Amino acid sequence: MEKTLAEIAHIVNGKIIGSGNITITGVTNIALAGEHDITFAVEPHLQEAENCNAGAVLLPNTITDFAKTAICVEEPRAAFTKLLEVFNPPLTIRRGISEQAFVGQDVKLGENVSIMPFAVVDDHAIIGNNVILYPHTYIGQHVKIGDESLLYSNVTIREFCQIGKRVIIHSSTVIGADGFGYITKDGKHSKVPQVGNVRIEDDVEIGAHVGIDRATTGSTIIGQGTKIDNLVHIGHNCEIGANNLIVAQTGIAGSTIVGRNVTFGGQTGCVGHIHIGDNTVLAARSGPISDIPANVFYAGFPARPHQEWLRNQVASKRLPEMMKTIRDLEKRLKKLEQDKC
């Protein structure tokens, strides 16, 4: 791919500083960009960008003076994303059903699907239009997958689960394994049948090695537009709202209900059977152990308001010094008491 800077300015609806005749062949980050690449910069990286080797830089509209060829746009990051798409067309994916795939009985396949070698679509499954199933995906009995969804290699969707439209699921993720439910009697654990399913709504993206367990009865739900990072665990009967961001290695125990636009920082651990309100942010490694209201920023374990956590961190650092002070106060007080006698 090759475009002039003028052509690029047109694509991102931006204003050029310098010459529009430069030829651009790649889109990459500041550190790697060479004379035929375009990159982007916002504060505090503007100076770095001014000194980098890129042919051109996408900048915020607010910049008027820059010691390098640039394109000023309303949102440099969004413009950069657009150019990544333009300069990196998606892989060529063969359409059709591989002769080495397995398709069971009473399966409904949409138009233009790609079912790659060694993918398995089990009996009674329904696969929407333009769905792509990479090698070694397993689609269980009675599963439904919506149009345009993309499942990478080794993904498992267990029986009766439902996947929405435009869902992306990365390799080795497991949707609908049995929830962790037992009845214990005399020290022995008997399995509670997990007869519910998982329902993934439209436009969800799920990373690699994520486990979302099927409900005991009813459905475990992942709301529309929610994005889940790698190695996340979501227990049975959780209901996760729309447009959440769930960062890597987070665990959410069973039956927890989460609102819309909630962010879970990495390695968060959340107990079961609680509610978390809309728009709340949980810092990395936080550990909610009871209901969390909407619109708050919580941190720590047990999770508490971030400001409170910060004050505690500051105080905690001074603990050894406090111990010394207390011992000193004791001595001085004892002396005063003795002097009085």
Catalytic residue list: 236
Residue 333 to residue 217: CA distance in whole angstroms: 65
Site for its own copies in 164-223 (CB under 8 A): 168, 170-172, 174, 177-178, 180, 182-183, 185, 187-193, 195, 205, 207-209, 211, 213, 216-218
Site for its own copies in 89-108 (CB under 8 A): 91-92, 98, 100, 102
**CB-CB contact of 79 with 85 (8 Å):** no
Residue 234 to residue 238: CA distance in whole angstroms: 7
* Residues whose CB is less than 8 angstroms from the CB of residue 45 and which lie 6 or more positions away in sequence, other chains included: 30
Please report whether residue 43 would count as binding its own copies according to CB under 8 A: no
Site for its own copies in 108-127 (CB under 8 A): 116-118, 120
Residue 143 to residue 158: CA distance in whole angstroms: 7
Q: Which stretch binds its own copies (CB under 8 A): 9-17, 47-55, 60-68, 148-156?
A: 148-156
Residue 232 to residue 247: CA distance in whole angstroms: 8
28, 68, 296, 306: which one contacts its own copies (CB under 8 A)? 28
Please report whether residue 338 would count as binding its own copies according to CB under 8 A: no
Write out the two tokens for 325.
Answer: 């002070």
Please report whether residue 35 would count as binding its own copies according to CB under 8 A: no
Please report whether residue 298 would count as binding its own copies according to CB under 8 A: no
- For 292-333, the DSSP string reads B-TT-EEETTTTEEHHHHHHHHHHHHTHHHHHHHHHHHHHHH
Please report whether residue 162 would count as binding its own copies according to CB under 8 A: no
Please report whether residue 227 would count as binding its own copies according to CB under 8 A: yes
Compute the least distance from the CB of residue 108 to its own copies, in Å: 18
Compute the least distance from the CB of residue 65 to its own copies, in Å: 27
Task: Sort residue 144 into left (φ over 0), alpha (ψ -120 to 50) or beta.
Answer: beta
Please report whether residue 251 would count as binding its own copies according to CB under 8 A: yes
Write out the two tokens for 16.
Answer: 């050029």
Please report whether residue 159 would count as binding its own copies according to CB under 8 A: yes
> Based on CB atoms, which residue is closest to its own copies, 20 or 281?
281
